[in-house]
Amino acid sequence: MPTEPTEERKLAAIMFTDMVGYSALAQRDDKVALELLEEHRRLLREIFPRFHGTEIKTIGDAFLVEFGSALEAAQCAIEIQRTLAKRNHDVTSERRIELKIGIHIGDVVLRGGDVYGDGVNIASRIEQLAGAGGICVSMDVERQIRNALEARFEKFGSADLKNIKLPMDLFRIVLPWEKGVESRAKLTSKKLPLLVPAAVLVILALLAGWWWMQHKNQQSVAAHPLPAPPATTPDQKSVAVLPFVNMSDDKGSEYFSDGVSEELLTVLQKIPGMHVAARTSAFSFKGKNATAQEIGQKLGVAYLVDGSVRKSGEAVRIAARLTRADTGEEVWSENFTRNLKDVFAVQTELAQTIVEQLRGRFGETDAGSTAKEKIQAEVLAAEKGGTKNAEAHQNYLQGRFYENRNSEKDTGKALAAFQGAVALDPKFALAWAGVARANIWYCNFATEGGLKSFDAHLAAARDAIARALAIEPDLPDALFARSMIQTNFDFDWKGADETLRKALTLAPQDPALLAQAGNLALTRGELAPALDFYRRAVAADPVSSQARSYLANLNPVAPWYHAGLGSVYLQEGKLEEAASAAQADTADWARLTILACVRWSQKRIPESDAALAQLIKDAAETAADQIADVYAYRGDKDKAFEWLERARRQRDAGLPTLRVDPYLQNLHDDPRWNAFLRTMGLTDDQLK
């Protein structure tokens, strides 16, 4: 007997596409209709894999495609409509290819290579409402992507869909090239009035409230304020390296494509005379549908580097190109197919070629062996600290990939990957610096395990830094990690200053170093130098800083993401908004700190007491500074000083913010205040 096909039920994003007017065209001219149908299928089948879309089937001139997330489905739909809009620009009306696209996310059943269920039915009904060249999505999709997709949404209202029992709210994605839609530049300019108060608010939080944002936070808010727009005419020596597209069959290889572009960016950033957009800004366009002109304007760069990576077994193919940002004109492109162990040579060759191309266009170098040798020497110097071990290199790229996600779970994966890299190559200095940063993250953020865990991570970080600097004494990554320990845990202001000066000499464009230098200056009460460092960090990382000026748009699962917003609301006196924001934070210590203060201000004393008691119970050994802040906020000076002293003994990372901590204002007129500052080396005479 034939076996019954197996069934699998899961949540999936379903996209339906349908050609507009195909049936009518087929009746008029079936030959042209078939030509356009095949062209349409070829174009779409090239796009689906780029967004992890799985083609389930075609139904005449329609596609049914499954995606793992609503965001990928929406990004794919936008790319399809953009591609067709460009294709239709110069063709006659009868040869246009126009699609309607509908997207819904819901429960589906996979059986026999097909999908069934309400998720499919709703997507097919939604598609019919999209209109030619349009994208219609359900409310469930809009809710999931509205903060992740750089696009506007127009609400259709509630629609009764055929054979669907309940009415549904539907939305249309407004595409920037649609006739009558404002240009993205105009939309941006309309946001500027909102940016001013937001920036002022965060500057105030920086000068009077940076204390909490910095605590347990290696990604300083130093880069948040002062989002100066790029110059009208970008520096012709400027370039952005965009994230390379992962074309591998293994979607888990995204770390590799990200890593290739990130390492290229890092090398170019260290080349004298080059201005390179920082990683955070460049990678903010990942998966977005932005034009070269839009990216160039937002990043303030004249040239763009982008490409793709396809890894299969021991072979890797890297395609790269250099384009002018103002026109999108391609000025250079190349494909490299190598064995995986030779990927280092490809990256070196890529960097050298791009520097040659750019300097040639700057008119700064003459063709010839001398110029090439100089560039080769600069690139090799910028690549120091690396490895020639292919497996160790892949571990390192995985570590950077997870590290950039900035959550406790991913930091654990990053640490394991970095440790794997140094196990394979003990001379891999950059990987040792990664081990250090991951351990510092735990010292800054984690509370589980208390002081025993804190001490173990700190000792591991110190050891990793020593190993990295023994291999490469001038490695900026390791110097940055050392400055973090000197500032956050050793309270060695002079040592941190010396370390940062050296690091910035080696990597003057690194926004993390600039922000850390600003943090140190602010700790020492040097406001003018602090603001100068922050401005330079913003200039190096414009998109990131602009996003953060809109109330710290970081990873929602990162500690302090929601509580940081709550702290701003608290300082504004918006108490219930503060409590609501803090409730969603992934870190209990952050949530409890805000709630203890909010409930106290609301005269809900038992609830404030309960939050404070829970904070002490759970995090006394790792969040003593926060406990002191709560007591000071509540006016209990004795307890506040008691916990400040405990924080000093426990090397709490929040203490460098003492002088600008607004929640400690109640303590400034107490004789114990200056005495405590002196134990920290932070009195005026000590700092001078």
**Domain-located, residue 668:** yes
Q: Verify that 168 and 30 share a domain, yes or no.
A: yes
What residues have CB less than 8 Å from 28, skipping those under 6 apart? none
Residue 291 banded pLDDT, cuts 50, 70, 90: confident
- Tens of pLDDT along 452-463? 898 999 999 999
Q: Verify that 12 and 158 share a domain, yes or no.
A: yes
Taking the alpha carbons at both ends of the chain, their separation in whole angstroms is 89
List % helix, strand, coil for the chain (3-state, nearest 5). Answer: 60, 15, 25
CB-count exposure of residue 543 (10 Å: 0-12, 13-18, 19+):
buried
The secondary structure element, H or E, covering residue 7 is strand 7-19
Q: Verify that 155 and 297 share a domain, yes or no.
A: no
pLDDT at 159 over 60: no
pLDDT at 230 over 60: no
- Tens of pLDDT along 490-549? 999 999 999 999 999 888 888 888 888 988 988 887 877 887 887 777 777 765 533 343
How many angstroms separate the CA atoms of 139 and 337, rounded?
44
pLDDT for the residue 105: 85
- Residue 510 carries which side chain, given as an amino acid letter? D
Q: Verify that 153 and 247 share a domain, yes or no.
A: no
**Tokens at 464, concatenated:** 């990793």
Residue 3 banded pLDDT, cuts 50, 70, 90: low
Q: Verify that 151 and 42 share a domain, yes or no.
A: yes
Domain containing residue 81: CATH number? 3.30.70.1230
645: left (phi over 0), alpha (psi -120 to 50) or beta: alpha
pLDDT for the residue 370: 64
Q: Verify that 124 and 264 share a domain, yes or no.
A: no
Question: Is residue 107 a contact partner of residue 66, using CB atoms and an 8 Å limit?
Answer: no
Query: Which residue has tokens 């500032």?
Result: 487
Domain containing residue 332: CATH number? 3.40.50.10070
pLDDT for the residue 80: 92
**Domain-located, residue 576:** no
Q: Verify that 252 and 352 share a domain, yes or no.
A: yes
Q: Verify that 162 and 21 share a domain, yes or no.
A: yes
Q: Verify that 262 and 376 share a domain, yes or no.
A: yes
Beta bridge partners of 19: 99
**Local structure of 152: helix, strand or coil:** strand
Out of 382, 397, 428, a domain closes at: 382
Query: Which residue has tokens 């075609």?
Result: 58
The CA–CA distances, whole Å, from 254 to 45, 94, 243, 247, 408 equal 20, 40, 10, 9, 20
How many angstroms separate the CA atoms of 534 and 516, rounded?
9
- Residue 285 carries which side chain, given as an amino acid letter? F
**Domain-located, residue 160:** yes
**Domain-located, residue 314:** yes
Out of 359, 382, 405, a domain closes at: 382
**Tokens at 188, concatenated:** 């941006």
Q: Verify that 164 and 243 share a domain, yes or no.
A: no
**Domain-located, residue 271:** yes
Question: Is residue 343 a contact partner of residue 393, using CB atoms and an 8 Å limit?
Answer: yes
DSSP string, 278-320: -HHHHHTTTT----HHHHHHHHT-SEEEEEEEEEETTEEEEEE
Q: Verify that 145 and 279 share a domain, yes or no.
A: no
**Domain-located, residue 440:** no
**Tokens at 500, concatenated:** 């940062």
Out of 174, 200, 224, a domain closes at: 174
Q: How many distinct structural domains can be found in the chain?
A: 3
**Domain-located, residue 458:** no
Q: Verify that 268 and 135 share a domain, yes or no.
A: no
User: What mean pLDDT, rounded, does the chain reach?
Assistant: 79
- Tens of pLDDT along 293-330? 888 888 888 899 888 888 777 788 888 888 888 888 88
**Domain-located, residue 109:** yes
- Residue 600 carries which side chain, given as an amino acid letter? W
- Tens of pLDDT along 529-544? 887 887 777 777 765 5
83 HSE (CA, 13 A, CB side) = 17
Domain that holds residue 375: 238-382
Question: Is residue 424 a contact partner of residue 392, using CB atoms and an 8 Å limit?
Answer: yes
**Local structure of 69: helix, strand or coil:** coil
How many angstroms separate the CA atoms of 305 and 644, rounded?
49
Question: Is residue 299 a contact partner of residue 230, using CB atoms and an 8 Å limit?
Answer: yes
Residue 672 banded pLDDT, cuts 50, 70, 90: very high
